[in-house]
């Protein structure tokens, strides 16, 4: 059942779908769990356990049907209808994120942006209109938006997220280098590109590999 899926399992299912989608058009129609595991950098046991979550069972002789497994993951992960996402902060980072996601996945797309800068309001960037912050509750409700991408400076992130949660947001993808405090009903995932680059550069300078943990 969806409610029992851990956040890591959901992330892995998303990855499996992407790896499987790469196989479409290559002529590969079936894949064994150990083959998918090798591509995903995991164990076959992990892959089988994750795929049990989506309720799909392959055949022992041929493995998983690529098409059917993609469809099962889609049914599990995606909303039945295309879903809108909001973004707050249209600076360098916000524009970069809009450019990246523009046209990526028809089922999940950024349909509204918010910014405090009056010059940005009502402009359309990569197909996405920018609204004033005070319209958030109305715009989120009209578009049934529950998911927010945060691309404001660190010092503004908490205040902005507080008001967006009050306006109806239930999931936050946070690019601001700040730890957000949210109610338990709100899910937060952080992407901190600067910290990640600093980590990689640090370990690239060492001779010995990093100790994971």
- Chain positions 94 to 133 lying near a second copy, rule: CB under 8 A, are 95-97, 99-102, 104-105, 108
* CA dihedral over 36, 40, 45, 49, signed as positive or negative: negative
Cα→Cα distances 198→157, 166, 179, 204, Å: 22, 34, 18, 10
Rounded least distance, CB 85 to a second copy, Å:
7
Among 58, 135, 146, 162, binds a second copy (CB under 8 A): 146
Residues 2-21 that bind a second copy (CB under 8 A): 2-8, 10-11, 14-15, 18-19
The answer for residues whose C-beta is within 8 angstroms of residue 147's C-beta and 6 or more apart is 83, 85, 86, 169, 170, 171, 172, 173
Cβ proximity to a second copy, 137 vs 154, nearer residue: 154
147 makes contact with a second copy (CB under 8 A) = yes
> Contact, 14 vs 107, CB < 8 A?
no
Place of tokens 């196989």: 23
Count residues near a second copy (CB under 8 A). Answer: 77
Among 117, 134, 142, 189, binds a second copy (CB under 8 A): 189
Q: Which range touches a second copy (CB under 8 A), out of 27-35, 62-70, 79-87, 115-123?
A: 79-87
211 makes contact with a second copy (CB under 8 A) = yes
Neighbours of 50 (CB within 10 A): 25
């Amino acid at each position: 059942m969806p409610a029992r899926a851990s956040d890591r399992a959901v992330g892995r299912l998303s990855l499996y779908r992407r790896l499987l989608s790469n196989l479409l058009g290559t002529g590969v129609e079936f894949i064994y769990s150990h083959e998918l595991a090798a591509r995903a950098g995991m164990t076959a046991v992990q892959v089988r356990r994750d795929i049990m979550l989506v309720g799909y069972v392959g055949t022992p002789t041929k493995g998983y049907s690529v098409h059917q497994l993609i469809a099962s993951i889609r049914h599990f992960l995606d909303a039945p209808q295309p879903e809108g996402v909001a973004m707050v902060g249209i600076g360098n980072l916000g524009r970069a994120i809009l450019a990246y996601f523009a046209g990526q996945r028809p089922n999940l797309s950024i349909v509204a942006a918010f910014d405090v800068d009056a010059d940005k309001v009502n402009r359309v960037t990569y197909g996405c209109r920018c609204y004033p912050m005070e319209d958030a509750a109305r715009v989120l409700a009209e578009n049934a938006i529950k998911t927010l991408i945060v691309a404001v400076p660190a010092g503004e992130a908490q205040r902005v997220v507080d008001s967006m949660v009050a306006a109806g947001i239930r999931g936050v993808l946070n690019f601001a280098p700040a730890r957000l405090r949210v109610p338990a009903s709100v899910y937060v995932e952080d992407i901190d590109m600067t910290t990640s680059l600093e980590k990689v550069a640090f370990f690239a300078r060492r001779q010995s590999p990093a100790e994971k943990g």
